A and B are shown apart, each in its own frame.
Chain A
Amino acid sequence: MADFRIKQGYTVPILGEAARELSDMLNPAFVGVCPVAFPGLKPRLDVSVDAEVKVGTRLFHDKKDPDVRFLSPAAGRVTAINYGPRRVIEEIIIATNGSNDSESFAKHDLAGIASMNRETLVAELREGGVWPFIRRRPFNKIASNEETPKSIFVNCMDTAPLANDPNFSIKDKQEAFKAGVAAMRVLCDQVHLCMAPNAANQFKSIDGVSSHTFEGKHPAGLTGTHISQVSPINKGEVVWTVNARDVVLVGDLLLNGTYPTERIVAVAGPGASEPRYWRTRLGVRINDLVGDKTADGEQRFISGNVLSGQQKNAQGFLGFYDDLITVIPEGREQHFIGWMMPGMDRPSYTRNYLSGIFGGKGFKMNTNLNGGRRTIIQSGIWDRVTSLDVFPEFLVKACLAEDIDAMERLGILECDPEDFALCTYICPSKTEVSQIIAEGLELMEREG
């Protein structure tokens, strides 16, 4: 139990936070699952086009570990399986039929879950399709049942721009959350709940776990920050991580014996004309949620937040781990001598524009790069938004040089690309810091 204050960080001043109103969209016309989104997974299909599926029918599994299964979030018919370059499976699309026919799984009560043996629990989580929600670090991949984690970190907060607030979106899920945490405790003795100082009661009154609060601007809410403050990953150690919203799903599965499909998704961003919360389904098609409620002009749809989300088109689907759809305008228009202007409307971390002195807190930000790419000038500015105990500039150099030893010495195994998203955001040379770290991690995993 500890309270942490994160000094580094920045709140990206983007407009369009979701209003705290909840609407229902429990049966979107289409749902989809994207196997390509799981790094390192070799998907093998269990359904073909035109197959009828129920909620919880197996769609595909991992060739390397066949018990890692991915289930259908809705009942209906598989209408398409889309392949990308080199025949990677991009999407499995299901037209829903409105019914809630479900496969059934084992059912427990709270006390029953706490007394389960680990092996049975693992088997049930895998069969019930919620195992992939548990990821492991380093490398941020689906956890393997063959390794024992040092601890499990449950992230009950989100400080990302326009984030879906777990205090709001899982406030009615106390029972399921408790059950999920109980399951985590069976998986590992050491469970850390990391929450905001203003966390709602459903996160606080949990026994048998270590609770921590994290105060500060983004990245205070990132799991990477939590791990590095509470108990950093050392060489050879593995930590499992899971989001509070996904713990709820784990709990739901065990309590109800059906594959849980409900997710409360925030639609936000300056390109969304009615930013709000929706009670909907895992894998919902973005178009079904957003519809025509977008601002004029070309918009970009992002599953996740603007710092680490995946770009999608309107026909795309909500990412497996995501609970936010951000809509922002594409910024392709050019402005005359923009760099010389006083810049009341140009948000900046530094005070190089007037906005830094007089500006408000919200800007209609778009996807423009806001400048040309230049060589990296190491000015130490990245350090100011990095909460990990690493030196991003030196780490990036090691990654670019593909020097695996140096990368490891400098702490890359403690890092996830999202930890450096703000470095990318503020870099005046427009360096893709998080991308470089991601590539470094890939190299590390391949060769290290």
Chain B
Amino acid sequence: MKFLHDLFKKNEHMFLKGGKLEKFYPLYEAQETFLFTPKDVTKGQVHVRDSLDSKRLMSMVIVALLPCILFGAYNTGMQMAVASGQPTDNLAGLFITGLMQILPIIVVSYVAGGVWEVLFAVVRKHEINEGFLVTGILFPLTLPPDIPLWQVAVGISFGVVIGKEIFGGTGMNVLNPALTARAFLYFAYPVQISGDKVWVAVDGFSAATPLAVAAGATDKGVTVTQALGDSFNLETMFYGFTPGSIGETSTLCCLIGAIVLIGCGVGSWRIISSVVGGTILTAFTVNALGGDTGFTTMTAWEHLCSGGLAFGLVFMATDPVSASRTKKAQYFYGFLIGLLTVLIRVFNPAYPEGTMLAILFMNIFSPLIDHMVVNANVKRRLNRVATQG
């Protein structure tokens, strides 16, 4: 690796202040730190530092996403095979078919979003933040496998620019950029991201997601469990062999992701567990108050195993930038996401997928909840003065 190292050393001067390519320092920095750990030493009074850096942190999120990505590829291939009546016993074949379908989506997301990211870093003269590595993969995983690639590019551009950069970039955004991108596509191009035609990448084939089937229970006058029937029993939904967005169908994979995130201390267990708690409690309440048939009969477990709830609560709700920061606020934040998801799903059947909106909604409110927690601390401090003096 000495050769590479020397190459960087030889060319560094061009990117430093006064060099010919000074403007592109962020690009140089990104590449150099990708290949070699930085040589910077500490200044000031804290002389040693933890080994965890932003690169490692973000790559752990990608590791946590791996099960969802791999299973997403396999399931996409399998759904295609089922739709076109081909055999479904060749695991590797299905995986490769699916991968060929989703890889372009992921690549377009990374390239289109990456261009914006670099552009802003160069103009603003700051380093390229690794957070985009996560946004760039989260977004495609929430899309149907049949999505047109130009929409992927438009969506991620909107997410990065409007969802993040206009607020000042990574760390300053109010909304989760990946969800912003998805919400944008949903409202701008609903035909390609909802309905029955998009969830399996075979032209003209229509297949409803479990959530859409569940929403249909009201019209049919049956319970959700009856409507889902055998093809979407709880087990199938938990494993994720259902039509749906690329990475969202498998609750099991999301669960593995949650274990990785909590295990390595990246994801907040407070948020994850309180979303689950909020969902279960609200679902039970709705079950108890609702009728004997219709969407209100959807059980908590069916909620957790369908749609984007599991994926959203593990990977989107825990985004530290847009979530609440204080511990107490995280409980509220998570609980309300669970509650809103169920309410939006059940009482707004025009759009059965409530997770995305619930999280975006709570993203907006999370600074307010934090503010209340911090204010309580401030009041405590003032009271101390009042009681003592």
Contact = CB atoms under 8 A, between A and B. Distances in A.
Of the listed residues A14, A336, A376, the one surrounded by the most CB atoms of chain B closer than 10 A to its CB is A336
Interface in B14-34: 29, 33-34
Interface string A296-310: 000010101011111
Nearest to A298: B41
Contact of A375 (B40, B60, B172, B264): B172
A403 to B, nearest CB: 13
Contact of B377 (A332, A339, A390): A390
B220 interface: no
A427 B51 CA distance: 10
Contacts of A38: none
B10 interface: no
B326 A352 contact: no
Nearest to A332: B39
Contacts of A82: none
- The interface residues of chain B, by DSSP majority, are classed as loop
Interface string B49-78: 111111111011000000000000000000
Interface residues of A, number: 78
Contacts of B265: 349-352, 356
Interface string B242-280: 000000000000000000000111101000000000000
A370 interface: yes
Interface string A304-330: 101111110000000000000010101
A224 interface: no
Of the listed residues B5, B56, B268, B326, the one surrounded by the most CB atoms of chain A closer than 10 A to its CB is B56
A425 B169 contact: no
Interface stretch (A62-70, A169-177, A377-385): A377-385
B46 interface: yes
A424 B46 contact: yes
Contacts of B35: 336-337
Interface stretch (A97-105, A201-209, A274-282, A360-368): A360-368
A335 interface: yes
Of the listed residues A12, A333, A379, A390, the one surrounded by the most CB atoms of chain B closer than 10 A to its CB is A379
Contact of B51 (A232, A326, A347): A347
Interface of A: 12, 14, 161, 232, 234-236, 300, 302, 304, 306-311, 326, 328, 330-340, 343, 346-353, 355-356, 365-380, 383, 389-391, 393-394, 409-411, 417-418, 421, 424-430, 432, 434-435
Q: Which 9 A-B pairs have the closest CB atoms?
A: A371-B53, A379-B320, A338-B37, A346-B51, A350-B265, A375-B171, A334-B36, A339-B55, A424-B46
24 contacts: A12-B48, A234-B381, A234-B384, A234-B385, A236-B389, A336-B4, A336-B35, A351-B265, A353-B52, A367-B41, A368-B37, A369-B40, A369-B49, A371-B37, A371-B53, A372-B54, A375-B171, A377-B321, A379-B268, A380-B330, A383-B326, A390-B377, A425-B50, A432-B46
